[in-house]
């Protein structure tokens, strides 16, 4: 078997646990804001949400090194050999930071991890956008325009992820207040607001992912 | 690759994404439905959520037939005339309507004959597809490629797993109905968790089968 086959398979499975898992997250988020559902019920939904939502967080980080691995295997990326190993190392560190931020949420250490994770994303968005635009206009570092477009869309997807993070930040505290005070017009509004505001970002992220998938399959000459 | 060919590969990929990825939520949320620690109202609602999310894998499985065969035809791996694809699509559409109607309709009496029909349909489909796959290994028709015949056989395997899930949850459904009407007892919960445990093994088998099918589709080994 060509090692490239394995990497394509991993690439696809990552999409499965990103886009495919997201549907449960989305559906549960709509159920958690329903006033008809009791506190206990919503606490259970919150657990489902938390569990499933961990998957997109992890696989989205792995997508970048796996994608670059594939690109280098096809001879479409200048990042090969030792540089690729460096990318894997950095991705591993990023993953560790991101997972720690989630598992230590609410502690000062968790907050530090979350801030580092945020800055990694800012830098990455800038680097990927510049690399993609340079490739689209000058043919380097990525020689194929479809791949450059995927890189640009990945930056877009990262932006959507940040949009989700910022708009959804108020949900955690609002949920805590709801659990403490029960269902009041205020606590219900507090839950509803972030879920409604996060929707456009989620839909934009999904659009980015499905377009990226199509580009990867069709690999059109642009 | 022609653009519309890519488009079908893409749809095929998205079906896999929502089948395997959707199952993650189903698998995890079903734990709460089966947990006697939670009150009945919560369990009933979690059962509904589980059932709703389960429509993602259910829908994708039905659509896999028309889309899979269309892809095979587009690639020139299918020996039957293209006009038959209309039949695959009509069948897929009709079956999808049935699957969704069974999900939305609440009247159990009205559903009963159709649930039975759906189960029989799955048996027939599983046998027909498995036969077509095995026949293709020897005669290279209706599928010309062995790897594709293997994929079809794996798909027939997922239908069988789906049937086995339905068989193994029978005690579950009965116990859950008793719990709903007469309350939770350790005996009823024991039946529930044993039955759910059995069903879970078949769910995991589906994950293995469709992941293998995906790998073979990417690999396309000649053998």
Q: Exposed, middle or buried, B138 (CB in 10 Å: 0-12/13-18/19+)?
A: exposed
Q: Do residues B192 and B175 make contact, with C-beta atoms less than 8 angstroms apart?
A: yes
Q: Do residues A206 and A161 make contact, with C-beta atoms less than 8 angstroms apart?
A: no
Across chain B, what does the average pLDDT equal?
96
Give the pLDDT confidence score for residue B2 in this predicted structure.
Answer: 84
Write the residue in A1, A16, A55 that is nearest to B17 by C-beta: A16
Contacts of A27 in chain B (CB under 8 A): 25, 49, 52-53
Number of domains in chain B: 1
Q: Tens digit of pLDDT for each residue in B126-135?
A: 999 999 999 9
Give the pLDDT confidence score for residue B223 in this predicted structure.
Answer: 84
pLDDT of A116 over the 80 cut? yes
Q: Which domain holds residue A196?
A: 3-218
Give the pLDDT confidence score for residue A222 in this predicted structure.
Answer: 85
Number of domains in chain A: 1
pLDDT of B209 over the 80 cut? yes
Which run of H or of E encompasses A203? Answer: helix A185-218
Share of chain A above pLDDT 70, in %: 100
Q: Do A44 and B21 touch (CB under 8 A)?
A: no
Q: Which domain holds residue B80?
A: 3-219
Chain B residues at the A interface, defined by Cβ less than 8 Å, are: 1, 3, 6-7, 9-10, 13-14, 16-22, 24-26, 28-29, 32, 38-39, 41-42, 45-46, 49, 52-53, 56, 211, 214-215, 218-219, 221
Taking the C-alpha atoms of residue B223 and residue B211, their distance in angstroms, rounded to an integer, is: 20
Q: Running DSSP on this structure, what letter comes out for residue B78?
A: B
pLDDT of B1 over the 90 cut? no
Give the pLDDT confidence score for residue A66 in this predicted structure.
Answer: 98
């Amino acid at each position: 078997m060509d090692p490239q086959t394995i990497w394509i398979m991993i690439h696809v499975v990552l999409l499965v646990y990103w886009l495919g898992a997201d549907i449960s997250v989305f559906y549960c988020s709509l159920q958690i804001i329903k006033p008809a559902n009791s506190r206990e019920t919503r606490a259970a939904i919150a657990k489902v949400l938390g569990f499933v939502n961990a998957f997109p967080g992890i696989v989205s980080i792995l997508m970048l090194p796996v994608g670059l691995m594939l690109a280098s295997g096809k001879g479409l990326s200048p990042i090969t050999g030792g540089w690729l190993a460096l990318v894997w190392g950095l991705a591993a560190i990023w993953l560790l930071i991101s997972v720690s931020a989630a598992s230590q949420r609410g502690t000062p250490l968790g907050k530090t991890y979350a801030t580092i994770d945020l800055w990694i994303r800012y830098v990455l968005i800038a680097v990927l956008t510049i690399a993609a635009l340079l490739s689209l206009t000058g043919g380097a570092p990525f020689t194929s325009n479809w791949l450059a477009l995927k890189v640009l869309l990945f930056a877009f997807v990262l932006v959507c992820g940040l949009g989700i993070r910022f708009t959804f930040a108020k949900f955690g505290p609002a949920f805590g207040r709801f659990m403490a005070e029960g269902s009041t017009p205020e606590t219900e509004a507090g839950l509803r607001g972030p879920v409604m505001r996060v929707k456009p970002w989620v839909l934009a992220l999904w659009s980015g992912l499905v377009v990226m998938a199509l580009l990867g399959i069709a690999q059109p000459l642009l | 690759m022609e653009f519309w060919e890519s488009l079908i590969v893409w749809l095929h990929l998205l079906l896999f994404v929502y089948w395997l990825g959707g199952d993650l939520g189903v698998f995890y949320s079903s734990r709460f439905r089966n947990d006697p620690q939670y009150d009945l109202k919560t369990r009933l609602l979690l059962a509904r959520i589980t059932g709703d999310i389960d429509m993602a894998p259910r829908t994708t499985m039905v659509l896999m037939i028309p889309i899979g065969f269309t892809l095979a035809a587009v690639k020139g791996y299918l020996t039957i005339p293209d006009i038959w694809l209309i039949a695959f699509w009509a069948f897929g559409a009709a079956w999808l309507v049935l699957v969704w109607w069974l999900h939305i309709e609440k009247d159990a009496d009205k559903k009963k004959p159709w649930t039975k029909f759906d189960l029989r349909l799955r048996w027939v489909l599983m046998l027909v597809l498995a036969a077509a796959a095995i026949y293709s290994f020897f005669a290279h028709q209706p599928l010309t490629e062995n790897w594709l015949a293997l994929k079809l056989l794996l798909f027939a395997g997922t239908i069988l797993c789906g049937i086995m899930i339905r068989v193994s949850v029978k005690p579950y459904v009965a116990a859950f109905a008793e719990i709903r009407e007469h309350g939770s007892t350790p005996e009823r919960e024991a039946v529930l968790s044993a039955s759910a445990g059995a069903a879970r093994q078949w769910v995991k088998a589906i994950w293995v089968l469709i992941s293998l099918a995906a790998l073979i589709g990417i690999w396309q080994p000649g053998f």
